[in-house]
Amino acid sequence: EAGVVQSPRYKIIEKKQPVAFWCNPISGHNTLYWYRQNLGQGPELLIRYENEEAVDDSQLPKDRFSAERLKGVDSTLKIQPAELGDSAVYLCASSLNYIQYFGAGTRLSVL
């Protein structure tokens, strides 16, 4: 069974540019999460979806970040415009029975 798939694995952009990350969760997992992991830190939740509904986006910086989960499967996280402080690893996870399974992440470098 395929795990959580994320793309791209790496992205380098200049500040003020837009960027988007894509996530395909494990088949059958209705809950999907986006996390941000800064260097030397644990992941921090940005947004949680139950099917296509965002049920917890309290930590998502809504002035520049947006996310969507069309048809309750794949999800996209977007940053526009990116700032230097957005450099981090963005992790996607999906869950079943209280256990979260993580993708390999997208490492974003903003120059």
Partner 1 sequence: AQSVTQLDSQVPVFEEAPVELRCNYSSSVSVYLFWYVQYPNQGLQLLLKYLSGSTLVKGINGFEAEFNKSQTSFHLRKPSVHISDTAEYFCAVSSNEKLTFGTGTRLTIIP
Distance CA 60, CA 56 (A): 9
Among 74, 102, 108, 111, binds partner 1 (CB under 8 A): 102
Tokens describing residue 100: 């979260």
Query: Is residue 22 involved in binding partner 1 (CB under 8 A)?
Result: no
Phi, psi torsion values for 98, nearest 5 degrees: 75, 0
Distance CA 17, CA 92 (A): 22
Do residues 107 and 89 make contact, with C-beta atoms less than 8 angstroms apart? yes
Which is nearer to partner 1, 35 or 65 (by Cβ)? 35
Task: Tell which positions 32-71 bind partner 1, by CB under 8 A.
Answer: 33, 40-45, 48, 56
Minimum Å gap between C-beta 12 and partner 1 is 15
Can you give the binding site for partner 1, defined by CB under 8 A?
4, 6, 31, 33, 40-45, 48, 56, 91, 93, 95, 98-105, 107
